Amino acid sequence: MMAFDEAKQRILERASLMPGELVGLHQANERILAEDLGARRDQPPSAVSAMDGYAVRADDCSGPGSQFVVTQTVAAGAVPQGPIGPGQAARIFTGAPLPPGADAILIQELTHPRGDARIATDANLTAGRYVRAAGQDFAKGQVCLKAGQRLGARHIGLAAAMNYPWLKVRRCPQVALISTGDELVHPGEPIGPGQIISANCAALQALVERHGGQALVFGATPDDKEALLATLDAARSADIIVTSGGASVGDHDLVGGLLRDHGLSVDFWKIAMRPGKPLIFGDFQNRVFLGLPGNPVSAVLGGLMFLAPLLAQMLGQDDPTEAWQTRNLSGSLPANDERLEFLRARLLPDGRVEAFNRQDSAMASVLALADGLIRRPAHAPTWSNGQIVDYLPLSGLI
Ligand code: AMP
Ligand code: MG
């Protein structure tokens, strides 16, 4: 059995950074930017008003009773008709360019009408008041978004403002998902006696997509050599091939043995980890191959602990499973054996964490209830109430 850390390191060594591809701005949500993005224009392109009011020379507003002649009106998107001279004002609206000569905005709330085309104010103004300078948000050439940024609404809005109709993002690693087992049918399909519903394909698809990959779902193949080989042949175009089930050493566990005869070079087959000891990692016809165990909790936690960091590295992102917190244990735990354990746990209102009593790797319901995982090292001694433990919140991860 290989130690967890070494297994993970070997898997991560296989990661190569995905190449970039161009996508339309509207397809870029949640994608990873592949290059630094310099602004293609100044924003704003010229000095503009931040308020509705009058563009004036600040020096002309130096105390009670200042009067102005309104000589023009400028709306957003318009071009000023000419400069503003001493004692003159331009009616102006938010986002409109300042006429030459004007250097401040007198907001309309501080003005009084004085007949046709005249206003008065008692305000004192300094130059620049309510003016957004040219390039205040960003200047042409300024790098506002860096390679590696995961794009959300705010980054996409900024890219749009910088005048990018398309963006270069990292291509999503394609992950072929194949579940194996004679007993499996998909949710909603006709089901016979002794059969169970396949949970792993749907779960692993969600996991892959959450971590930036593109899932190619091949569904369930029976425990049959020809069927498995045919599915694998179809899956060969993916960057990563993931199977679930059939990874251990039972009579029906085909994956490792069968594939070894057909081009799988196995790096390791067993990990000192619970849940999920039988886990095959290797290379299948130049593709990264990960054979996860069939039990739903083992499959999902194997995916979380190995596939999610692999995807992150291929996308140039930080490992999402390294956000361990230290917490106090509620309750006690017996001494551990030689397998590192990820215990499903709940977070108590007082901040302590408590392992569920039922840690069976077939219990998807407990995993779904868990707030996080407690990491229990191999050969850990008995832990008593209050022990400091490593705890990984699952929210946002799976
Ligand atoms: P295996 O690794 O094939 O020996 O499967 C171990 C256990 O996981 C068995 O009880 C299987 O029925 C179950 N199992 C295998 N694949 C799936 C799947 N896709 N969804 C739910 N359970 C599965
Ligand atoms: Mg099986």
How confident is the model at residue 71, as a pLDDT? 98
| Residue ranges per structural domain of the chain | 4-15+172-320, 20-41+140-170, 48-132, 323-393
Query: For ligand 1, is residue 200 a contact (CB within 6 Å)?
Result: yes
66-97 pLDDT, tens per residue?
999 999 999 999 999 999 999 999 999 999 99
Which atom of ligand 1 lies at the shortest distance from residue 220's CA?
19
3-state secondary structure 310-321: HHHHHCCCCCHH
User: Considering only 38-42, 63-67, 194-198, which range has the smallest mean pLDDT?
Assistant: 63-67
Q: What is the pLDDT of residues 260-270, one digit of tens each?
A: 888 889 999 99
CA nearest to 218, candidates 183, 199, 243: 243
- Provide the pLDDT for residue 378: 97
Closest ligand 1 atom to residue 250 Cα is: 4
Closest residue by CA, ligand 1 atom 10: 295
Distances (CA, A) of 334 to 297, 330, 371, 379, 382: 21, 13, 21, 10, 5
Reading the block at residue 165, the tokens are: 């109709």
Q: Which fold has domain 48-132?
A: Molybdopterin biosynthesis moeA protein; domain 3 (2.170.190)
- Can you name the CATH fold of 323-393? Beta-clip (2.40.340)
**How high is the pLDDT of residue 259?**
84
Q: Exposed (0-12), middle (13-18) or buried (19+): which is 42, by Cβ within 10 Å?
A: middle
Q: Which helix (H) or strand (E) holds 38?
A: strand 37-38
How far out from the chain centre does Cα 85 lie? 53
Q: What ligand has the least distance to the C-alpha of 223?
A: 2
Q: C-alpha angle with apex 165: 133 to 161, nearest 5 degrees?
A: 20
Q: Check if 69 has its Cβ closer than 6 Å to any atom of ligand 1.
A: no
DSSP 191-256: --TT-EE--HHHHHHHHHHHTT-EEEEEEEE-S-HHHHHHHHHHHTTSSEEEEES--SSSTT--HH
Task: Please give the model's pTM, rounded to 2 decimal places.
Answer: 0.92
- Class of 4-15+172-320 in CATH: alpha beta
The confidence band for 63, taking pLDDT boundaries of 50, 70 and 90, is confident
Q: Which residue puts its alpha carbon closest to atom 17 of ligand 1?
A: 294
pLDDT tens string 115-174: 889 999 999 999 999 999 999 999 999 999 999 999 999 999 999 999 999 999 999 999
Among protein residues, the one whose CA lies closest to atom 4 of ligand 1: 246
Overall average pLDDT of the 262-289 stretch: 92
pLDDT at 250 over 80: no
**CA gap 387, 330 in Å, rounded:** 8
Nearest to 358 by CA among 215, 159, 369, 246: 369
Rounded to an integer, what distance in angstroms lies between the CA atom of residue 22 and that of residue 161?
A: 18
For the segment 192-212, what is each residue's pLDDT rounded down to a tens digit? 999 999 999 999 999 999 999
Alpha-carbon span 247 to 243, nearest angstrom: 8
pLDDT at 78: 97
pLDDT at 254: 82
Per the prediction, the chain carries an average pLDDT of 96
Measured from the CB, is residue 183 less than 6 Å from ligand 1? yes
pLDDT by residue (tens digit) across 332-387?
Answer: 999 999 999 999 999 999 999 999 999 999 999 999 999 999 999 999 999 999 99
Ligand 2 centre distance from Cα of residue 12 (Å): 27
DSSP E strand stretches across 315-367: 325-328, 340-347, 353-355
Residue the block writes with tokens 């005249």: 118
Q: 340: CA distance to ligand 2 center in Å? A: 24
CATH fold of the domain at 20-41+140-170? Molybdopterin biosynthesis moea protein, domain 2 (3.90.105)
